[in-house]
């Protein structure tokens, strides 16, 4: 999860990602931030997050993003 936190802090510093649970719902991250996050996640983890994954619940917290990454990593590795 450290890599995810690094990505988040690079894209939008100054947020308490460890404790925040409404990154999208509270407007802390916007659509441009989400696209940048997805791009970095895809690159660093070698996964392919699809448009259907771009739901607020997948990006409202660092834990939700971690779960999304893990799902894609498991799908990739079969």
Residue boundaries of the structural domains of the chain: 23-77
Q: What is residue 1's predicted lDDT score, i.e. its pLDDT?
A: 86
The whole-number pLDDT of residue 57 equals 97
What pLDDT was estimated at residue 10? Answer: 97
For residue 61, the tally of other CB atoms under 10 A from its CB is 18
**pLDDT block averages, 10 residues each, the chain of length 78:** 96 97 97 98 97 97 98 90
């Amino acid at each position: 999860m450290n890599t995810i936190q690094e990505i988040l802090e690079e894209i939008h510093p100054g947020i308490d990602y460890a404790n925040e649970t409404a990154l999208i719902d509270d407007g802390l991250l916007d659509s441009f931030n989400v696209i940048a996050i997805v791009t970095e996640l895809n690159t660093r983890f070698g996964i392919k997050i699809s448009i259907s994954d771009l739901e607020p619940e997948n990006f409202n917290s660092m834990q939700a993003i971690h779960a999304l990454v893990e799902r894609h990593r498991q799908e990739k590795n079969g």
